Structure 1
Amino acid sequence: MTPSFSLPLPDGRKLSADHGTQGLTLLLDGQPLLSAQREGECWQLSSAPTVEALWALAYWTFAGDAQSERVQFAAANLPAEALEKGLVSRDEVGGRLQIERTAFWQLGDAWHKGAASANYPQVYRMSGGRRHPLRAPKPQGEVYRRFDARLGQWISLRTLDIELDLERFNRWQNSPRVLEFWQEGGTLEQHRAYLEKAAADPHTTTLIGCIDDQPFAYYEAYWAKEDRIAPFYEVDDYDRGIHMLVGEESHRGPHKVESWMTALVHYLLLDDPRTQRIVAEPRADNAKMIGHMQRLGFWREKEFNFPHKRAALMVQSRETFFERCGLC
């Protein structure tokens, strides 16, 4: 950890921290937010903390150290809300107050934007011969934003806008590297029809991935219960599936994959806590993508035959993602 650094927050504010051998001061937009002294593995807070101050302490710790699993602290007059919302818990052995990485990254108000699917009631419908929950209206605009401290850049997701994104989608799909695996090359008119069909499909949301607000990738997030993948495994009502492509060559590489794939999975798990699994079905011979996914916590469940390809069923569970969470 460096003696001082700062973290931009999605709401435009900036969190900074100055600390010495034993002391720590957190500042929000330059104003003191929290002061603490280190006593062994525990922070002793100098005054009664707010929920915002405790959140900031956790974020500063976890963003600065991807291996840190918890923040232990002692404080007077802990706000009840911190316990009620699950930000703070007690250590099972010593009863110390703590904030666990596993819990922190599930509290997504800072990163998730717009309406969440979680707020939509569970009402069942039949479509295509399958019984499934009625899905919430699809989001519009930006849905996720987080500063990646490892990259030193913003990673964000927004919904695809056909008029704004058609030409880049066409360029990406016609690049030889993408064409090899997606096999969706075509004209602007063909790609407009493709995207209009996806926009009209209630089980699929099309997304554009951005780094520092520059579009570089296209994703499709779908509800697996209504998808063609459903017959090939024991699908749950709220499983989400993903299709992924990186269109801009400048944003390829393992470190970028770690950032955007983790952000994509994080967004979908935040969107609805009822989602327990994220699935994908890359072509079985796409060794590079499968290797990236396995490195980031997906496992290869099996191979199976789609009509158009031999696919590998890749699975990521909510439990595994948050327990092994490398977000920073």
Structure 2
Amino acid sequence: MTSASLYPPRWRDLNADETDTRLTLTLAGQTLLDLQLERGASLHLSLHDAAVQPTLQALWAACYWLLASDPQRQQLTWHLRLPPNEALCSGLLHSTDIEGLYICQRSLFWQRAQPWLGDEPLPVYPQQHVISAGKRHPLRGPKPQGEVYRRFDVRLGVWISLRTLDIDVDLERFSRWQNTPRVMDFWEEGGSLEQHRQFLEKLAADPHTLTLIGCFDDQPFAYFEAYWAKEDRIAPFYEVDDYDRGIHMLVGEQAHRGPHKVASWLSALTHYLFLADPRTRRVVAEPRADNDKMIGYMQAQGYHCEKAFDFPHKRAALMMQSRERFFDRCALT
């Protein structure tokens, strides 16, 4: 028997006792779900007490536990009399041709916005095209404020979260990061506190760019920019879609460098952008073409190099990740 804990976003500790044939989940000391397991090509799940009507929370917790604990597991087969309607409407489960048989697919599970984006994610902003700076693009909704994403990374055993940058809180940290020789070599944005304040204020006023701080266990370690590619300087260099997002990335804290950390924060950042608007089909980036290390890190996370091209200020590699590829056999834990 194995006994362990996971920490779903905004929940108390979720505990499990799992054997080859049984899984019992408890939340705050109370039994949440008791399941019989039948292992094979697909993992089959049935309620130990068939008379119990499982809640949406209980079904989600079991799916989360079993998918997060085994990144290679692609689906779960549930045997239920009738699941909660919300489980079907939200895509947590989908019905089959066999009565009482329901499937949870990994690729659908990780596309659900809750709870990664909070208990009440922002609604999808309605579409209306406008023209600004000579570019036709969808009108963008107000930028979010505060924490926008949180997930427990099972591999690292830490929380990975994203929050919006607060200039008053983050200016000194941002300036220190930008003046690090390693960062200056690629960003070329070294300068004074006042210069960096002006830099961030300009981005705050730009509706096409969202500035984010990445945290491990709530400790800031990185700065990210997420931008709408249609309004960006990258747009002329590929067949850009209305809701493509682009990213700029800066890891400021030396202790959080390395491929295992990149795997955590890059997957989280990409996950957030695909969840923030389900119309987003691709996430792109344009690192310097000679930044072999970052290009390699991105390729390890499913990005591919579409081509090399010339910006006025640098030779860049167009890195691209599609929604379909990200969620197909999704390796999130």
- TM-score range (shorter-chain normalised) is over 0.9
C-alpha change, 1:257 and 1:169, in structure 2 (3 Å) is: same
Partners of 1:298 and 1:287 lie apart in 2 by 13
- Match runs of 1:180-219 below 5 Å: 180-219=185-224
Partners of 2:210 and 2:321 lie apart in 1 by 19
Query: In the TM superposition, what whole-angstrom CA distance separates every residue of 1:259-317 from its partner, at most 9, and x where no partner exists?
Result: 00000000111100000000000000000000000010101000110000000000000
| Contiguous gaps of at least 5 residues in structure 2 | none
Q: Determine if the alignment matches structure 1 residue 236 to structure 2 residue 241.
A: yes
SS of the residue aligned with 2:279?
coil
Q: 1:164 aligned to 149, 166, 169, which one?
A: 169
Query: In the TM superposition, what whole-angstrom CA distance separates every residue of 1:86-123 from its partner, at most 9, and x where no partner exists?
Result: 11014579983111110001112101138756521101
| Contiguous gaps of at least 5 residues in structure 1 | none
Q: 2:225 aligned to 220, 223, 240, which one?
A: 220
Partner of 1:285: 290
Partners of 1:31 and 1:241 lie apart in 2 by 43
Identity level (%): 62
Query: In the TM superposition, what whole-angstrom CA distance separates every residue of 1:216-271 from its partner, at most 9, and x where no partner exists?
Result: 00000000000000011100000000000100000011110000000000011110
Q: Give how far 1:29 is off.
A: 1.5
Partner of 2:12: 13
Structure 1 runs of 4+ aligned residues shifted over 2 Å read 90-96, 113-119
Partner of 2:77: 72
Partners of 1:60 and 1:276 lie apart in 2 by 28
C-alpha change, 1:19 and 1:113, in structure 2 (3 Å) is: closer
Q: 1:325 aligned to 299, 321, 330, which one?
A: 330
Partner of 2:53: 48
Query: In the TM superposition, what whole-angstrom CA distance separates every residue of 1:191-211 from its partner, at most 9, and x where no partner exists?
Result: 111001000100000000000
Q: Is the 8 A contact 1:72 1:98 kept in 2?
A: yes
Q: 2:256 aligned to 251, 256, 259, which one?
A: 251
Q: Which amino acid in structure 2 is aligned with residue 123 of structure 1?
A: Q
Q: Is the 8 A contact 1:117 1:272 kept in 2?
A: no
Q: Is the 8 A contact 1:160 1:207 kept in 2?
A: yes
Q: Which amino acid in structure 2 is aligned with residue 300 of structure 1?
A: C
TM-score, normalising length: structure 1: 0.96
